[in-house]
Every structure is written in structure tokens, then in C-alpha cells.
Structure 1
């Protein structure tokens, strides 16, 4: 399978005038030695933990972290988890902490729901995502933290989620299912060099966070497992996701920012997000935006993406009542194999938290570029459905070559944009010719934005 030629790549880079994106993304995700040196270290075994996969070690984790809190202002500390199977319920992290798993270490989530406490719903959601009321706390949790590292030598965090999936499918849940890792209102987060297995719900959920990096992780769950999203940046900014393999039962990456009137009122967008060198497969979507995007999503750059044996590759999900916006999304250099739908925009993705949402709160979807894509055995190139009276605009497609099985490769409504060098030929609403000024209008970051991005990206250079 041939990649787009270098000449074509250079031509389209010049055409699209997107150098601010290039500078920003490479700065934000610049590779550095990310391992923090902590002057203090203890093993979980020093607090009575037993790695037999049977003994419940929640108190040991809680006591160890309580002890290490005394070193937070002395350079921080490391909690070492050696080889073994360490059964535990939910536990909270602290600032200036490294949780480090040996290569043969497995943190196991308890199968007893009482070991996963119920906490308040997120204010940008107004209720649990699955049921009204609270939600179970994640296995590894933290809030209002600074400088947190969850890493190791490819150790494993296993949520043992099958009991939760069954309860969801049988409608016997009392509260929304827990995530594997959730960090709230935190700054300076690194998650790397680990395997995440069988999450009860979403795997990694940074919410209301800044300066987050997820690198070199593997996330696995059966394709039949419900809502086991891989990585969900939610109302978070300055996020870098790179060098990950994800195969789960739902979206591999889902960028969110709150749900209907609650997300609009909370008003915290997800912005400045870079996704690089992502490989995976799923029965839903590779990279999704929404459907909870009421606080807005912008400045998303994804490149070097490979999806295979999946349903959707790229999907934007929204509906009347969401409000918010999705803009300045730039996806390039993507390889697709055995995909049902390469590009999907769904403006009728219903489901609201309650009846108090405003049906006149219309989302703004604009300035979406997808370029340099090749695909083999694709059922349909795209289903792009906007909202009547609320067109999705400035959609730019270029240098896309898809081997499509369907006689009707595109299905478009309430969208408008540009295309060039697209095969099969794009649908009529996207057939305006591309010119440099179109690209500049769609994707040029102002000097103010670029300066802000460079300042934000400087944090990553210090790691």
C-alpha cells in the first residue's frame, strides 16, 4: 500500500499554510525524558500489601499514599508496586507523586462494587453519564493535584470490568460505572508505559485538567464491552496523546467538554490537543469528538493515524441542544484498512441529560480539515449530516484516496466546504475548489493564539 508521495505532501502543506499548527504540535509533544526523579520511595509491601490477587489492599494503598504526602514539599515521592497481583478498591493520588508499576505488577480492581465509592456527578454533566445521581469513583482517582505521574515498566492496571458490563447490559446498575483512571482539576499529568485492561467504563479520563501527556500506553477491552472508551480528554487543555495502541468496545479517543445545559453553563472547553502515532481498532470510532461537546472543542491536531477492522475512523457527534462548538480540527496522514465509514458527522446524535436542555442551543461546527488519507476496503467514504438550519461549514478534504465498496460513496446533508484530489469524488456540497485563502481562513492561528500555544507548550519541554 503506497503512502501519498513526498511531493504531494509538500504541495499540500504549502497550499494549506498551516505552519502555526506544525510549530505548535511539535512543541507541545516534543520528546523528552519524562521520568521524574523523586527523592523518596517506598514499596506497597511496606504497608502490608499482599500480591496474591485475593487479599484486598485498599487500605495499604491509602496508607502508603497518606505517608508519602509528607514528602510532597520535599521533591515528591514514588510508590513502587512490585511484581504480583494487587487487588484493591478505589484509592486517591496526591500531588508530586509517581505511581510506578513493575513489569510483572498488576493492579486489580475489586469486583465488589462497595469498594468503588459513589461520588458527586461532574458539574459539566449535571448527573451521572448513565443514570441520574452520582457515579462510582474511578479505581485510581485524584483531584486538585499538581505533578502526578502514573508509569512503570509496562505494568498493568486491570479493572476486571466484566461484572460491570453485565450489570449495564442487564439494567441492574444503581449508579454510573467507574473509570480506571480519572484526574480532576489537575495540572501536570503524565501517564505512560502501562497496559490498561478491561475498564468498567472509560479507561483514562482527564477532566478539567491542563498539561496532560499520555504516552506509550496499551489499552485493551473486548469489542463487545460497552462504553470502554480508551482516552477521553474532557474540558481539558494542552493534552498530548502519542505512541498508543488501543483496542476497545467504544471510541479509542473521545474528546468531550460537558453535556447540554450543564456543559454550556460550566463553559470549560477542550482545546490544544495533539494526537500522534495512534494505532487501533474498535466497533465504534477511532477518534471521536462529542457527543458531549457543549463547552466547546477546538485546536485539535491528529497525525500519523492507523485504524483497521473498525466501524468509523473519524466521527463528530452532536445534536440540537448541545450548543458549544467544534472548530479548527486538523487530521492528517491517516491509513485505514477494513473500515465501514471513513468520515462521519452526525448532527442528530440525540440523548440529553434531562428535559431542561434548550433545543434552540445549536452547535457550531466549522473549520474541519482532513487530508492525506489512504484507505483499503472501505465500505463508504463518508456520511456527513449536519443540522437543518445549522450547516456544518468550512469542511476541507484533500489528498484522500479510498478504495470504496459502496456505489454511493458519500452521503451529505447540511454541510458546506471544499475538496481537492479526493477519490472517490466528494459530494456536491464539498466540491468548491480549494485555494490558499480558504486554508488561511479556516486554519490560521492568530499571533495571539500562537504565542499562547508556545507558552503553554513550554511546560512539556521541562519534563
Structure 2
């Protein structure tokens, strides 16, 4: 069945002769996570329950419990009478094992750079490369399992590093000013993992990316909250890279960089669903900038972007470009964005290369926003953007910035109409976003 609102709408497209939009029907059947994804549940089997002991090093007992746990069961962290804090060095998850973090529990990452160092002595320093730290939590070649519960994982990015005089975030900002690379640990990393689930957990204050996926097949993020200050550099929310069949649903993300960044630097990323999510401060819902191996079959539906700098964003350049195709944005509300639509093939205009970005078969349907810059910038006349606008409404003072783009309008049209384009005006009222805006939830009873 088509992802259009109704069969009558699809028939109207055919009758109207809008061939480009009608062609989208075929690929939209597949333009999403191919799994049957439903709301997860908390584990029914627990292999170990660990109570907090305050600011002690809990690494040994947590890792031992994970290693001994049978697949399909959970290690549950619970709060003691007056304390729910665990502190740990890096942890390695096992196949099929779930880490269950109870309400009121905080699993805090150690602030000691030596605990993350990969053996080169660069973690917690500025260097010519930025890969000197292992992540706090890793899923490597695992299948099943995940992280669930109403508790929190805290990366302590704003805490002073042990043996240093600055925080992880201050190091990252200093690296930017000095032209080097900060060596800060990611909070969670999935490497060649399959069918991993994150449910209801809060992730906050990562020193670097919150969740990075590489060569993952099947990942579900449902009811997850990511909460980090807007000025914390390089603290992306969720970054699917070289992965397929990923769903991010009913989640709330505010962070210091991309709220989501879909990447394809080490392999193609495809079949991703982003559903019923709310994004607050951050750099937006992004594809790129590494897309050289190709991004395709992406569905974004019923999403709000409230105060992100960019809104719906596709970014790349000739040093890391590739094909981005079959992307559908459906039912999106935007407000307070500098660039509500930001599709740019010259993300870094100063770089060269032969990896030309090509964006095509991009559909915006039932998208409403306020003011700001609406950017559609293809690479050149031989590599234009191909975008269809169907029921796209922005305020009258929103400004289009278009270069090397081929645009078509569906029956819902577009407003304001870009100058120089013979497109249908928007028909009917814009999407009513009044009920869509919700504050970032600070209480799990409101989020779930």
C-alpha cells in the first residue's frame, strides 16, 4: 500500500499527470525499515541484580555480571536506599544480554582519560587524529540485547577530566580553536551488531557522540531521550552509519551537534525509519556529510524540529559525496530554525574532490514551518537536485535559496512559490502543528 494519505490521493496524482510524484509510489513501499518494528518491552528474565554503592568503581562487578549472563536475560542496576549512582570504566556488552537501568539510577562514565585510551596515550588530548579513545559502552559483533529502563547513562562530558584542568567539552572547543582533533570517548558504539534495542533510557552529557552505529543490521531506538547542552561540541545524538534497517521512534533529542546524522562513509546506509520524534536544540535531522557509499530508502514521518539550527538537512561536498536517493519527509513541523530546509551539496565549499554529491528522488509531503532560509543547492548543471514538494507550507517571509535544482509540485503545492519556478501554489490549509509541540520531557511518566 502506498504511503500517501489515501488511495484517492494516489489516483489524483495519476489523473493529474504528475509523473514524478507517481513514480515515488514504487520506491516508497520500501523506503523504511523493512522489519516489523513495534514498541519493545522490558525483560522478563533477569540474570543479576546489582545495587548501587555510591562513587566506587563498579566496572568489575557490572562487567562480570554481563559476561556471566545468558542470552535473553538482563543485568539490572537498581538504586540502594538513598543512592542510585554507579561509576564505571568502559563496558563491553555480550550477545543477547540487556542492560536494564532502573528508574532513579545513573550509570556514570569515569572522567579518567586513561581508562579509555587505546594504547597511544592520546585520549584526553588534542592530536592530529581523533581516534584515541574507546567508547564507554560497546556492542561489538553482538546479536540481540540492548539497553532499557527509565534510568540514565551519563557521559560526564561537562566534568573536569581526572588529572586535567578542563572538561571533555572544553577540550573539544579548544581543539576547534587550535585546529587539532580532540580525543574524546563516544558514549555508546555499535560495531557490526545485529538487532539491538534501546528502550526508554536517557543518555546525557556525552563527551563525544552519544550513539554511533557502524555496519549494524537491525537497531531500534524507542522512547529514548538524549539531553546535552547546545554548546557541547561534536555531541551528535544518534548516527547510523553503513547500516540498514534502523528505526528511531517516539524519542526526544536535544544536543550540541546533529540530533541525528545518517552517514555512509564506510558502507551504504539504507532502510531507516524516523517516526514520531521530537528534536529541540541541535543542528537538525541530517543526512551526511559522509555519503560516499550511498544513502537511500529513508522515511521521516510525524516529526517536530523545534529550535534546531537546520531542520531537514542533507549535507555533503566533493570530498565525501555520493548518491542520496529515495528519501521521504512526511508530516513534519518546524519552527525557530535558521534553515528549515537545508539540502546542500557544497557543505564545505573550500574542499575539492571527485566524490560529487547527487540528491534525487527526495519528497517533502505535508511539511509546515515558519520563517528562515530554504536551501536547495545542487552541485552543478550536470548534477542537479531532484525534489518534489507536495503540501509544503512556510511563512510568507521564508526565503528560497535555490541553485542547480529541478523541482516539481504535487497536488498539495508549495508556498511561498520559489521565484522562477512554475509550480502549483499550496492548496488547502497547512499542517496544524499546534498539538505537535511538546516540551522536552523531564519526567518519564510524561515521555511514556
Q: TM-score, normalised by structure 1?
A: 0.78
Question: Match of 1:140?
Answer: 137
1:159 aligns with one of 155, 158, 179: 155
Question: Match of 1:379?
Answer: 372
Question: Match of 2:53?
Answer: 51
Secondary structure of 1:28's counterpart equals: coil
Shift of 1:151: 0.4
Matches within 5 A, 1:33-432: 33-38=40-45, 41-45=47-51, 50-52=52-54, 54-68=55-69, 71-72=70-71, 76-83=72-79, 84-118=84-118, 131-132=128-129, 134-152=131-149, 154-162=150-158, 163-171=167-175, 176-258=183-265, 263=266, 268-285=267-284, 287-350=285-348, 359-376=353-370, 378-380=371-373, 382-406=374-398, 409-420=399-410, 421-428=413-420, 431=422
Structure 1 gap segments, 5+ residues each: 1-5, 121-128, 435-463
Shift of 1:326: 0.5
- C-alpha change, 1:218 and 1:13, in structure 2 (3 Å) is farther
Secondary structure of 2:307's counterpart equals: strand
Counterparts of 2:345 and 2:107 in 1: how far apart (Å)? Answer: 40
Shift of 1:133: 6.0
Question: Match of 2:430?
Answer: none
Instruction: Tell me if the contact between 1:136 and 1:175 (Cα under 8 Å) persists in the aligned partners.
Output: no
Instruction: Tell me if the contact between 1:9 and 1:372 (Cα under 8 Å) persists in the aligned partners.
Output: no
Shift of 1:34: 4.0
Instruction: Tell me if the contact between 2:317 and 2:355 (Cα under 8 Å) persists in the aligned partners.
Output: no
Instruction: Tell me if the contact between 1:28 and 1:240 (Cα under 8 Å) persists in the aligned partners.
Output: no
Counterparts of 2:197 and 2:424 in 1: how far apart (Å)? Answer: 42
Question: Match of 1:453?
Answer: none
Could you say what the CA RMSD is over the residues aligned between the two structures, in angstroms? 2.9
Secondary structure of 2:338's counterpart equals: strand
Instruction: Tell me if the contact between 1:251 and 1:284 (Cα under 8 Å) persists in the aligned partners.
Output: yes
Shift of 1:312: 1.1
User: Between Structure 1 and Structure 2, which shows a larger proportion of strand residues?
Assistant: 1
CA deviations on 1:23-80 (whole Å, 9 max, x unpaired) are 7748635425444544x510234xxxx531x212222222222222xx34xxx33111
How many residues are paired up?
392
CA deviations on 1:249-296 (whole Å, 9 max, x unpaired) are 1111110011xxxx4xxxx200000000011212422x1000011111
- C-alpha change, 1:174 and 1:331, in structure 2 (3 Å) is closer
Instruction: Tell me if the contact between 2:88 and 2:109 (Cα under 8 Å) persists in the aligned partners.
Output: yes
- C-alpha change, 1:211 and 1:306, in structure 2 (3 Å) is same
Counterparts of 2:11 and 2:317 in 1: how far apart (Å)? Answer: 33
Secondary structure of 2:301's counterpart equals: strand
Counterparts of 2:64 and 2:369 in 1: how far apart (Å)? Answer: 52
Structure 2 gap segments, 5+ residues each: 14-20, 121-125, 159-166, 426-448
Shift of 1:147: 0.7
Shift of 1:89: 1.4
Counterparts of 1:210 and 1:217 in 2: how far apart (Å)? Answer: 19
Instruction: Tell me if the contact between 1:411 and 1:427 (Cα under 8 Å) persists in the aligned partners.
Output: no
User: Between Structure 1 and Structure 2, which shows a larger proportion of helix residues?
Assistant: 1
- C-alpha change, 1:189 and 1:63, in structure 2 (3 Å) is same
- C-alpha change, 1:392 and 1:282, in structure 2 (3 Å) is farther
Counterparts of 1:62 and 1:7 in 2: how far apart (Å)? Answer: 49
Secondary structure of 1:80's counterpart equals: strand
Secondary structure of 1:425's counterpart equals: coil
Q: Which gives a bigger RCO, structure 1 or 2 (Cα 8 Å, sep 6+)?
A: 1
Instruction: Tell me if the contact between 1:119 and 1:137 (Cα under 8 Å) persists in the aligned partners.
Output: no
- C-alpha change, 1:24 and 1:391, in structure 2 (3 Å) is closer
Q: TM-score, normalised by structure 2?
A: 0.80
Counterparts of 2:37 and 2:26 in 1: how far apart (Å)? Answer: 16
- C-alpha change, 1:248 and 1:134, in structure 2 (3 Å) is closer
Secondary structure of 1:233's counterpart equals: strand
- C-alpha change, 1:96 and 1:185, in structure 2 (3 Å) is same
Instruction: Tell me if the contact between 2:290 and 2:321 (Cα under 8 Å) persists in the aligned partners.
Output: no
